[in-house]
Structure 1
Amino acid sequence: MYNKTVTLSNGVVVPQLALGTWLIDDDQAAEAVRQAAKLGYRHFDTAQAYGNERGVGEGIRTCGMPREELFVTTKVAAEHKDYESAMNGINASLAKLGLDYIDMMIIHSPQPWDKVNQSNDRYFKGNLEAWRALSDAYKAGKIRAIGVSNFLKEDIDNIWNNAQIKPMVNQVLCHVSNTPMDLIQYCQDKGIVMEAYSPVAHGEALKNPVISKMAEKYGVTPAQLCIRYDLQLGMITLPKTANPAHMKANGDVDFEISKEDMDTLIHVKKIDNYGDASFFPVFGGKL
């Protein structure tokens, strides 16, 4: 089981491979977390928008592992663009999870989901208010680390230039054929750790012949190659599954992709429109 970690700018250590729980129903989430913990997963990613925080929290509390050995990430709903709603959401997440603290909490999107790529308004003021709520919860010890998700350079700059506490992570869509290298480099240069969701492009990457051929070369599955790709970019990586066999395979990625092959993968042409941010609303804003 892959067990490397990354360290955030505030010194918090984060398991680099996480179980993503998007589209896992609340009544199935607890068992998914328990199975993953049994296999060696120590980082679990959920969100207010997923509707499964209760189940994830139950899994954390009942998996038999000490709480301090597990890392839980959740997300402030994209619609919470004022201090009060963001803070109420933070407290609601704590209550639903049934935990004394959240390891990391991030703003789910710079724009409300129904406005993603449909509005030029980047909600700079609203994001600063949501960030202020996260910062206060962080100072109060409710959250150990704070960050953002789906933020572009201008969104990062808004927080970076106007807030005392700087973003520690930026979670973005990143997979073979859709690798935002400029954004990754920009954030990493600032000491912001990058996270990759949907590392297998919602399954579409598994159909790509370049990926399949290279996976065969390394004696791994296309999914394993895609997960390893994001890990080698230095990103926290969040493959999603409720299937224990897939969880086990996703964690069996202790191999090395050569520099030449990484360069080939970075330049693979886009697989399909899953790489487009405009595709987000199709999934109900739950990325």
Structure 2
Amino acid sequence: MQSYIRHRRLRASEQIRRMVREHHVHVEDLIYPIFVVEGENIKQEVPSMPEVYHYSLDRLHEEMDELVRLGISSVIIFGVPAEKDERGSSADDEQGIVQKAIRYIKEKYPSIYVIADTCLCQYTSHGHCGIVENGVIVNDASLTRLVSTAVSQARAGADMIAPSNMMDGFVYEIRKGLDEAGFSHIPIMSYAVKYASSFYGPFRDAAHSTPQFGDRRTYQMDPANVREAMREAASDVAEGADMLIVKPGLPYLDVMVRVRERFDLPVVAYNVSGEYSMVKAAALNGWIDEKQVVTESMLAFKRAGADLIITYHAKDLARWLKGGE
């Protein structure tokens, strides 16, 4: 007589569960977002993102020292300039806040890998990711500004450029611009699949980048589409991307799986602000076990094929991986 198939044999203890575990999250997988602002003596918590702060350059060492202590070796930099205008003029300023932050980190913390987010939304008075003409976000004029911004970030010392603007041709033009400026060695981590998501609200609070009119649905992707995501990723690969981001993360795990199956480049999950804030809010109310929920979410990204994870939970995760609370 045939006996039951005993799957539970490999779940009987923590030791055996660890031995047969298929996916793991390592601190090396984590990229931590940092928000830098003009001014002095600023460490200000983002209202909608508990434990995430705006830092002025003179206090940025507080964040960086902690990251080094925790073993987090890569960051992505977002800047909030003192002044904005319709064309995002400060985005490529050699003395812009992001450029200054990059130079500071590379000088004081040379072991940290610095990724520069390349977009215009933080720098434009209207909050859109490109140039606006007659109420329309225009593509090709935006590319010129974005290339200039990427080159200025590379000149400041960025190890990688991460363009998040979703203009057509942005990878091609930025790759060409970097190469012509002598930065052919700088990789591009493309926001290849970026949806027009409702999960970005807290980030826009942090980056002061809420659109002042309309929305971003003419350039970010429709949440209903997945075949379109494959076209977006394929074009970025053809144009020279070195890594592919899927953003947001958890609501689009199915898309991440398809990207992983089709392309051989490293895949990056962006665990976005809304995902972070929901978990933090529920944890602060005692409704969930934060450590368990965050760990489970990170494993979901790994199962879906992510090699790297951009996440505001990175510091907590690093503590937990070290065995702390």
Measured against the shorter chain, the TM-score band is: 0.5 to 0.7
Question: How far apart are residue 93 of structure 1 and its match?
Answer: 1.9
In the aligned structure 2, how far is the partner of 1:46 from the partner of 1:205? 23
Asked whether 1:191 is paired with 2:251, we answer no
TM-score for the superposition, normalised by structure 2: 0.52
Identity of aligned residues (%): 8
Match for residue 105 of structure 2? 59
Match for residue 104 of structure 1? 160
User: Which 10-residue stretch deviates more, 185-194 or 26-35?
Assistant: 26-35
**Is the 8 Å Cα contact of residues 228 and 253 (structure 1) preserved in structure 2?**
no
After superposition, the Cα gap between the structure-2 partners of 1:138 and 1:92, relative to the gap in structure 1 and judged at 3 Å, is: closer
**CA-to-partner distance for each residue in 1:42-64, whole Å, 9 max, x for gaps?**
0101235688523354133213x
In the aligned structure 2, how far is the partner of 1:225 from the partner of 1:182? 16
Counting only pairs closer than 5 Å after superposition, residues 100-179 of structure 1 correspond to structure 2 as 102-110=158-166, 126-128=167-169, 130-137=170-177, 139=179, 140-141=183-184, 143-148=186-191, 150=194, 152=221, 153=226, 154=228, 157-158=231-232, 160-161=234-235, 163-166=238-241, 168-175=243-250, 179=251
**Is the 8 Å Cα contact of residues 30 and 309 (structure 2) preserved in structure 1?**
yes
Is there any run of 5+ residues in structure 1 with no aligned partner, and where? Answer: 6-14, 111-125, 256-287
After superposition, the Cα gap between the structure-2 partners of 1:59 and 1:166, relative to the gap in structure 1 and judged at 3 Å, is: closer
Question: How far apart are residue 166 of structure 1 and its match?
Answer: 4.4
Match for residue 146 of structure 2? 86
In the aligned structure 1, how far is the partner of 2:79 from the partner of 2:103? 12
Asked whether 1:251 is paired with 2:307, we answer no
In the aligned structure 2, how far is the partner of 1:45 from the partner of 1:3? 19
Structure of larger gyration radius = 2
Match for residue 13 of structure 2? none
After superposition, the Cα gap between the structure-2 partners of 1:232 and 1:155, relative to the gap in structure 1 and judged at 3 Å, is: closer
In the aligned structure 2, how far is the partner of 1:37 from the partner of 1:60? 13
Match for residue 20 of structure 1? 33
In the aligned structure 2, how far is the partner of 1:234 from the partner of 1:57? 33
Match for residue 205 of structure 1? 279
**Is the 8 Å Cα contact of residues 33 and 56 (structure 1) preserved in structure 2?**
no
Q: How many positions carry a matched residue from both structures?
A: 209
In the aligned structure 2, how far is the partner of 1:191 from the partner of 1:74? 23
User: What code does the residue aligned with 1:74 have?
Assistant: A
TM-score for the superposition, normalised by structure 1: 0.58
After superposition, the Cα gap between the structure-2 partners of 1:200 and 1:56, relative to the gap in structure 1 and judged at 3 Å, is: farther
Match for residue 74 of structure 1? 116
Question: How far apart are residue 254 of structure 1 and its match?
Answer: 4.0
| Aligned partner (choices 297, 305, 312) of residue 240 of structure 1 | 312
Q: CA RMSD in A?
A: 3.7
**Is the 8 Å Cα contact of residues 206 and 223 (structure 1) preserved in structure 2?**
no
Question: How far apart are residue 24 of structure 1 and its match?
Answer: 2.6
Is there any run of 5+ residues in structure 2 with no aligned partner, and where? Answer: 1-23, 36-52, 82-95, 120-128, 132-138, 196-220
**Is the 8 Å Cα contact of residues 77 and 116 (structure 2) preserved in structure 1?**
yes
Question: How far apart are residue 133 of structure 1 and its match?
Answer: 2.4
User: What code does the residue aligned with 1:19 have?
Assistant: Y
In the aligned structure 2, how far is the partner of 1:45 from the partner of 1:239? 10
User: Which 10-residue stretch deviates more, 147-156 or 74-83?
Assistant: 147-156
**Is the 8 Å Cα contact of residues 31 and 59 (structure 1) preserved in structure 2?**
no
After superposition, the Cα gap between the structure-2 partners of 1:155 and 1:174, relative to the gap in structure 1 and judged at 3 Å, is: closer
